[in-house]
Amino acid sequence: MITAFVFDAYGTLYDVQSVAELVERTFPGHGDYITQLWRLKQLEYSWLRSLGGDYADFWTVTRESLSYTLGTLGITPDESLFAEIAGAYNALRPYPDAESCLAGLTGFRRAIFSNGSPEMLSAMVGNSSLAPHLEAVISVDAKQVYKPDPRSYRMVEEALGVRPSEVLFVSSNGFDVCGAKRAGFKVARIERVSNASLAHELASSATIGPKIFYKAQRLQPETYGEVADYTVSALGQLPDLIRSISHAP
Amino acid sequence: MITAFVFDAYGTLYDVQSVAELVERTFPGHGDYITQLWRLKQLEYSWLRSLGGDYADFWTVTRESLSYTLGTLGITPDESLFAEIAGAYNALRPYPDAESCLAGLTGFRRAIFSNGSPEMLSAMVGNSSLAPHLEAVISVDAKQVYKPDPRSYRMVEEALGVRPSEVLFVSSNGFDVCGAKRAGFKVARIERVSNASLAHELASSATIGPKIFYKAQRLQPETYGEVADYTVSALGQLPDLIRSISHAP
């Protein structure tokens, strides 16, 4: 029986695309390109550092990936501008239905489990409307391994004192879906872009720019691992989903 | 003293872009998109499987990433067509200067160290002009971990019986440069796209399509780890490089 909802943060409860406004204002014409490449390299660096046995926290990874991204354009901003842009990751906007989703799950335990460093998560969650609905914000940092390392997911059991089979883990990130399934959780995937709409967008676009390419690279179900138990197109559907699961014969 | 040259295969001696012709012929208008996304997901899946403790060989990873890529377009080819396209990775073309580079390094031990499965490497190298110049083709497969896992690089010492400090490791892949440096090798980076030319291309392109985006995502020096000892713009410069190193005071 599901007793706890555990949410991924970046891209699931909080919209990583919300850095684009500041980035575009700062580097006109490059906002979309920088936003997509930054996020891709941020994830990549978390994986590569973990694989290399060379963990550094997500704030380091976020700045290193920003530095790489700006570097491709030959841009090296001064320290204070760099800090301002990097800081956008600590002020991501929740998805519009994130708060009502959490409110609709009252009665269940609700927590975040994220790659973010404790300081990043504290800034982002603490300053958002989601904080009152969350019992715990769990960071991989205490174990110094990033998702989808199996050791990371065990922190959820340890922090909440629940068995994996009691957890409905929620993520829009394919690698996180695979990792959470392997860890024994039930998993709900948030399908922000359906396969049909992506295929249509790819077929009908004269050129495939950074944002479509990002969607293609990141937002389809991964084919190397396990698949989600449930797929919904938005967070707002989770309260209905859990009711239908609970009432299933 | 350098006694051995050890080369990465995919993207370093062999051009991963050489699958584009077959892919474009098979899926007109999508050749470039598929080529870039396929390679990006292929690397990603090697890392994610390694991180997840869920190794499968590079042939599996190559097919899974192709399946993901075609899936974004809503394409599910029949088995024989799928096999034909996947097989393109076993017939990659060497870079034009790869053979003369290897020939120019006669007197040094020369080997490949690659993520490729033994069967893939045997097909690709065996069918190319590079085979006679190589003493060994070492695959990560025996250890079931992908680069940049530090355990993988130790296979070079074990296979060739050399100390890391005697090895000049050659790669165009940034993560491989970082991993090889951490393993104690001297490292030469092949800079296929300079920062200045990439920045110029990004600034002067009306839209940033998949190929430019691929270059931006993969072909600049990574900023999360160590840097190469030497950077050259092409394989053909390695014989001169080693002469200049050997004669340095």
Residue pLDDT, tens place only, B194-247: 999 999 999 999 899 999 999 999 999 999 999 999 999 999 999 999 999 887
Question: Residue B64 belongs to a domain with what CATH number?
Answer: 1.10.150.240
Residues A119 and A202 occupy one common structural domain: yes
- Residue B197 in contact with partner chain A when CB distance is under 8 A: no
Q: Quick one: tokens of A143?
A: 């174990």
Q: According to the model, what pLDDT value does residue B127 have?
A: 87
Place of tokens 């501008």: A81
Q: Are residues B111 and B50 part of one domain?
A: no
Looking at residue A196, its pLDDT comes to 97
B27 touches chain A (CB under 8 A): no
Tens digit of each residue's pLDDT (9 = 90 or more) over A198-239: 999 999 998 999 999 999 999 999 999 999 999 999 999 999
Same domain, A130 and A201: yes
- Tell me: do B227 and B111 sit in the same domain: yes
> Which of B47, B72, B90 lies at the terminal end of a domain, its last residue?
B90
ipTM higher than the 0.90 cut: yes
Mutate to test the interface with A, among B27, B32, B40, B44 (most CBs of A within 10 A): B44
Same domain, B53 and B126: no
Q: Quick check: A54 and B182 CB within 8 A?
A: yes
Whether residue B29 is found in the same domain as residue B10: no
- Residues A216 and A236 reside in one and the same domain: yes
The pLDDT value given to residue A249:
55
Q: Is the pLDDT at A172 greater than 90, yes or no?
A: yes
**Of A63, A90, A117, which residue constitutes the final position of a domain?**
A90
Q: What is the CATH number of the domain that holds B119?
A: 3.40.50.1000
Q: Do A52 and A147 belong to one domain?
A: no
In this prediction, residue A248 has a pLDDT band, given cuts at 50, 70 and 90, of low
> pLDDT > 90: what percent of chain A?
97
Whole-angstrom distance, CA of residue A189 vs CA of residue B69? 19
By residue range, what is the domain housing residue A49? 17-90
Residues A68 and A147 in one domain: no
Residue B169 contacts residue B6 (beta carbons within 8 Å): yes
At A72, is the pLDDT very low, low, confident or very high (cuts 50, 70, 90)? Answer: very high
Q: In sequence order, which residues have a C-beta less than 8 Å from that of residue A110 and are 6 or more positions away?
A: A4, A5, A6, A7, A102, A133, A134, A135
Distance, in Å, from the CA atom of B37 to the CA atom of A49, rounded to the nearest integer, reads 22
Q: Active-site positions of A?
A: 8
Among A90, A108, A136, where does a domain finish? Answer: A90
Residues of B in contact with A73 (CB under 8 A): 199, 202-203
- Is A72 touching B (CB cutoff 8 A)? yes
d(C-alpha A104, C-alpha A124), whole Å = 21
**What predicted TM-score, i.e. pTM, was given to this entire model?**
0.97
CA distance A144 to A127: 25
Whether the link from the prior residue into A148 is cis, omega within 30° of 0, is yes
Please check whether residues A37 and A133 belong to one and the same domain: no
Q: Do B129 and B45 share a domain, yes or no?
A: no
Helix (H) or strand (E) holding B114: strand B109-114
Res B249 pLDDT > 60: no
Question: How many domains, in total, are found in chain A?
Answer: 2
Task: Looking at the structure, tell me whether residues A125 and A198 fall in a common domain.
Answer: yes
Distance CA B159, CA B156 (A): 5
